[in-house]
C-alpha cells in the first residue's frame, strides 16, 4: 500500500479552509514557509460563507465612544465571565486591524456617510460594531481570503514559475489522523474524497481550523462539514478540549418547511429592528430580561422603540439580549403553548422597515424565505425557533500562539478552539475570532517550525494510519453509517439539547457508548470513488467522540450558564465560574477533569464596575480584585 500513497512535504499543514484556516495560511506563507491547505469541500465553500450579520470590531466608525475595552467587556459579559480573559483581550484589541487588512485585500464592506466601514447593532454589543456587507458578510470574508491566497500564489508564480510552490490547496481531502513522532506532530494522513487515494503530508506543524460540531445535532444551522473533525483529531492526538458543554443554540432558525428546519435567520433581522412575538401577539422578551442585564435593556415597548433613534438616552430592546437568553425565552414560550403552528415564534421586521430597505439590508433573508418557505418578509412575519449553531468549547490553546496545550506542533484557531467565548458567544465575534486567532495560529506555527525543524514520519506510523482507512471496506458487520448518524442526532437532540437534566445526560452517555460500539461494525457499499457512505464513517467517528465529550462535560457542570442549561440546577453559581472542564481521550473513552479558570488580571478586572462583577464572582474573588 505504501508505494501508492501520495506523499508531500510542507512546513505547515492547515486543516480547514474557512476564515481561520486561510488566515493562518496567509500568515505562515508571509513568514516564508510552505503551506498545504487541506479541506473537505471545494475551495471557497467553507461554512464561514454562512455567516450573515457581520464581524465585530471596535473601529468606532458609527459611535466613536467604542473602543477595545468596551468590546472586551461585552465579550466577557456575553460569555458570563467564563471566557479565557487573554483571548477576549487579544480579540478585542486586534479585531479592527484584521478588518482593515481585509480592505487592503479587496473586500468591499458597506459604508457610512463619511465613507468609512459601516457598523451595525447586534445582540450584546453596546455600540454599533459589526462591519458588514448586507447580510452576506461571511461570503465577503471567505472570498476575500480565497482571493488573497490566489494573489500570493500568483506572486509565487511570477517569482518562481510555480504558483503552487509555497501554498497549495488540497480540496476534497479528508484528514483521518494527525501523525506524531517522538511525541511531537509529524504530519497528517488522509484520503482524497474523489477517489479514495491515500495521502500523506509530512509537516512538523499542523493548524486545525475545522470549525464546529453542529451535525452532531438534529436541528442545526451547520453544513455537513461541521462534524467536529478537528475536535476529535486533536483529542486523538493527545490534546485537550475545554468546556465542551457549551453549545450555542441560535435563537432564530427557520422552523418550517421541514426540509429547511434549522437554517439560520440572521440576528441582523433583530439588529435592524425585528421584534419577537408569540401566538397571542405578545412581545414576550420583556418578561425574560435576567437580573444581570436589567440596567442595559428596556423593560417596556416605548423605550425599546425609542432606542432605534436615540441610543444614548434609552436602553436596548430585549430582542438584542445575548443569544442564550433569547433562545431560552423562545423555548419557554413554545413549551408554554404560546408557539406558532410549526413550533416557533414570530419574528417580524415588516412593520419597522419599508420593503425596499428590507431587501437592501437583508437581501439573502428575503430570498431565503421567499424561495424556501413562500414567505415575503417585507409583508409577513417569519416563524423561527432555536437551532444548534456554534460550539463555544474546543481545543485548549495558549492564547498568544494558538498552540494546543499538551501537543508540540499542534495549533488550533476559529470555532474549533475553545476559551475565547466562554459560555456563550456574541454574534459577530466569530468572524473576527477567525481572523485574529487564524493569524496568531499561522504565526505561532511558523515560529515553532523555524525553531524545531523537520520531524519525519516513520513507516510504522504510516502503516497504522493506512489500516484505519481500509477497515470499513473489510468489515462485514452490517451497520449503516447513515442510520447510526440519525440515531446519534436523536440522542443529542432529546438528551443533550437546549435544556438538560442529570438523568438525561447519564442516559445519553450510555447511549452514545452503545452507538460507538455499533459503529465498529459499519460496512460500506460501493467502492472508494466519491462514496458518501464511506466518507460518513470517518465523520461519524468524530461526532461520536465530540458528543461523548459534550455529554460528560454537561453532566459534570451542576449549574446553568450561557449555552448550558440544567433544569435540575437552574441559575449561575459563582463557584462553578472558577472552573473549566477539560476533556481528554485515553483511546477508549473521554475523561473529564476540572481545572481552575485563569484569573482576570487586575488591569482587566478594573475595567468593570465592581458591582457588576459581584453578580458573577465570589466575595473572595471580589476582595482579591484580580490576579496581581
Return residues touching another protein (CB under 8 A): 41-45, 47, 49-50, 59, 96-97, 100-101, 103-106, 108-111, 114-116, 118, 133-134, 136, 139-140, 143, 147-148, 150-151, 153-154, 157, 163, 194, 223-225, 256-260, 263-264, 364, 367-368, 371-373, 480, 482-483, 486, 524-527, 529-534
**Closer residue to another protein, CB minimum distance, 169 or 321:** 169
Q: How far is the CB of 296 from another protein (least distance, A)?
A: 29
* Strand (E) or helix (H) holding 6: strand 6-9
Q: How many CB atoms lie within 10 A of CB 115?
A: 8
**Closer residue to another protein, CB minimum distance, 14 or 285:** 14
Rg (C-alpha) for the chain, rounded Å, is 23
CA separation for the pair 345, 276 (Å, rounded): 7
**Closer residue to another protein, CB minimum distance, 401 or 475:** 475
Dihedral sign for Cα atoms in the order 86, 88, 91, 96:
negative
Q: Contact at 8 Å (CB) between 132 and 120?
A: yes
Q: How far is the CB of 154 from another protein (least distance, A)?
A: 6
Q: How far is the CB of 14 from another protein (least distance, A)?
A: 18
C-alpha closest to that of 441 among 1, 26, 53, 160: 26
HEC string of 157-207 equals: HHHHCCCCCCEEEECCEEEEEEEEECCEEEEEEEEECCCCCEEEEECCEEE
Q: Contact at 8 Å (CB) between 581 and 551?
A: no
Q: How far is the CB of 26 from another protein (least distance, A)?
A: 13
The vertex-560 CA angle with 557 and 563, nearest 5°, equals 95
Q: Contact at 8 Å (CB) between 174 and 538?
A: yes
Q: How far is the CB of 175 from another protein (least distance, A)?
A: 18
**Closer residue to another protein, CB minimum distance, 8 or 100:** 100
* Strand (E) or helix (H) holding 590: strand 590-596
Q: How far is the CB of 504 from another protein (least distance, A)?
A: 27
Q: How far is the CB of 66 from another protein (least distance, A)?
A: 14
Q: How far is the CB of 95 from another protein (least distance, A)?
A: 12
Cβ neighbours for 135, distance < 8 A, ≥ 6 positions apart: 52, 53, 266, 268, 361, 362, 363, 364, 365
**Closer residue to another protein, CB minimum distance, 91 or 261:** 261
CA separation for the pair 225, 14 (Å, rounded): 16
C-alpha closest to that of 325 among 492, 605, 79, 139: 79
**Closer residue to another protein, CB minimum distance, 68 or 569:** 68
CA separation for the pair 413, 23 (Å, rounded): 10
Strand, helix or coil for residue 602: helix
- Residue 544 DSSP code: H
Q: Contact at 8 Å (CB) between 209 and 15?
A: yes
- Residue 517 DSSP code: H
Active site residues: 250, 270
Cβ neighbours for 525, distance < 8 A, ≥ 6 positions apart: 533
Q: How far is the CB of 532 from another protein (least distance, A)?
A: 6
The residue with cell 491566497 is 149
Q: How far is the CB of 269 from another protein (least distance, A)?
A: 15
Q: How many CB atoms lie within 10 A of CB 102?
A: 23
**Closer residue to another protein, CB minimum distance, 45 or 566:** 45
Cβ neighbours for 210, distance < 8 A, ≥ 6 positions apart: 15, 16, 21, 228, 229, 230, 231, 233, 416
**Closer residue to another protein, CB minimum distance, 143 or 450:** 143
**Closer residue to another protein, CB minimum distance, 79 or 214:** 214
**Closer residue to another protein, CB minimum distance, 316 or 528:** 528
Amino acid at each position: 500500500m505504501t508505494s501508492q500513497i501520495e506523499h508531500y512535504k510542507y512546513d505547515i499543514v492547515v486543516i480547514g479552509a474557512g476564515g481561520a484556516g486561510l488566515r493562518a495560511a496567509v500568515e505562515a506563507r508571509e513568514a516564508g514557509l510552505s503551506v498545504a491547505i487541506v479541506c473537505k469541500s471545494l475551495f471557497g465553500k467553507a461554512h464561514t460563507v454562512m455567516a450573515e450579520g457581520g464581524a465585530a470590531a471596535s473601529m468606532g466608525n458609527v459611535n466613536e465612544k467604542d473602543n477595545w475595552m468596551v468590546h472586551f467587556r461585552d465579550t466577557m459579559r456575553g460569555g458570563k465571565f467564563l471566557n479565557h480573559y487573554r483571548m477576549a483581550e487579544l480579540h478585542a484589541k486586534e479585531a479592527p486591524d484584521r478588518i482593515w487588512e481585509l480592505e487592503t485585500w479587496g473586500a468591499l464592506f458597506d459604508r457610512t456617510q463619511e465613507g468609512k466601514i459601516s457598523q451595525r447593532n447586534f445582540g450584546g454589543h453596546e455600540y454599533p460594531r459589526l462591519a458588514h456587507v448586507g447580510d452576506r458578510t461571511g461570503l465577503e470574508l471567505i472570498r476575500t481570503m480565497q482571493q488573497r491566497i490566489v494573489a500570493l500564489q500568483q506572486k509565487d508564480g511570477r517569482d518562481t514559475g510555480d504558483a503552487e510552490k509555497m501554498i497549495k490547496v488540497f480540496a476534497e481531502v479528508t484528514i483521518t489522523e494527525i501523525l506524531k513522532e517522538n511525541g511531537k506532530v509529524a504530519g497528517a494522513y488522509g484520503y482524497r474524497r474523489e477517489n479514495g487515494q491515500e495521502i500523506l503530508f509530512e509537516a512538523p506543524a499542523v493548524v486545525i481550523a475545522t470549525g464546529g460540531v453542529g451535525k452532531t445535532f438534529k436541528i442545526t444551522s451547520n453544513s455537513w462539514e461541521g462534524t467536529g473533525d478537528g475536535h476529535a483529531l486533536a483529542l486523538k492526538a493527545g490534546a485537550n478540549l475545554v468546556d465542551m458543554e457549551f453549545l450555542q443554540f441560535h435563537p432564530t432558525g427557520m422552523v418550517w418547511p421541514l426540509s429547511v428546519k434549522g437554517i439560520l435567520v440572521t440576528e441582523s433581522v433583530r439588529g435592524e429592528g425585528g421584534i419577537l412575538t408569540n401566538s397571542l401577539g405578545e412581545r414576550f422578551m420583556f418578561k425574560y430580561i435576567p437580573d444581570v442585564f436589567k440596567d442595559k435593556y428596556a423593560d417596556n415597548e416605548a423605550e425599546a422603540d425609542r432606542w432605534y433613534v436615540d441610543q444614548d438616552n434609552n436602553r436596548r430592546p430585549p430582542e438584542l439580549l445575548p443569544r442564550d437568553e433569547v433562545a431560552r425565552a423562545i423555548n419557554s414560550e413554545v413549551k408554554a403553548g404560546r408557539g406558532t403552528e410549526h413550533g416557533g415564534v414570530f419574528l417580524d421586521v415588516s412593520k419597522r422597515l419599508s420593503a425596499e430597505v428590507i431587501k437592501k439590508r437583508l437581501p439573502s433573508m428575503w430570498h431565503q424565505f421567499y424561495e424556501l418557505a413562500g414567505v415575503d418578509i417585507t409583508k409577513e412575519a417569519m416563524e423561527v425557533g432555536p437551532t444548534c449553531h456554534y460550539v463555544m468549547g474546543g481545543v485548549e490553546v495558549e492564547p498568544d500562539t494558538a498552540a494546543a496545550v499538551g501537543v508540540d506542533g499542534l495549533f488550533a484557531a476559529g470555532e474549533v478552539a475553545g476559551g475565547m467565548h466562554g459560555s456563550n458567544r456574541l454574534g459577530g465575534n466569530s468572524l473576527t475570532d477567525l481572523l485574529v486567532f487564524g493569524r496568531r495560529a499561522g504565526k505561532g506555527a511558523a515560529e515553532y517550525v523555524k525553531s524545531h525543524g523537520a520531524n519525519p514520519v516513520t513507516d510504522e506510523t504510516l502503516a497504522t494510519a493506512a489500516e484505519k482507512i481500509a477497515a470499513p471496506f473489510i468489515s462485514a458487520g452490517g451497520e449503516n453509517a447513515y442510520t447510526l448518524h440519525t440515531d446519534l442526532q436523536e440522542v443529542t437532540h432529546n438528551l443533550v439539547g437546549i435544556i438538560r437534566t442529570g438523568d438525561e445526560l447519564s442516559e445519553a452517555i450510555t447511549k452514545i457508548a452503545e452507538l460507538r460500539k455499533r459503529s465498529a461494525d459499519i460496512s460500506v457499499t460501493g467502492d472508494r470513488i466519491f462514496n458518501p457512505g464511506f466518507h460518513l464513517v470517518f465523520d461519524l467517528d468524530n461526532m461520536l467522540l465530540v458528543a461523548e465529550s459534550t455529554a460528560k462535560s454537561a453532566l459534570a457542570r451542576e449549574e446553568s450558564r450561557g449555552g448550558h442549561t440544567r433544569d435540575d440546577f437552574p441559575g449561575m453559581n459563582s463557584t462553578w465560574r472558577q472552573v473549566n472542564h477539560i476533556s481528554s481521550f485515553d483511546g477508549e473513552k473521554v475523561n473529564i477533569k476540572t481545572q481552575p479558570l485563569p484569573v482576570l488580571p487586575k488591569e482587566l478586572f478594573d475595567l468593570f464596575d465592581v458591582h457588576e462583577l459581584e453578580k458573577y464572582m465570589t466575595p473572595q474573588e471580589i476582595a482579591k480584585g484580580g490576579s496581581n
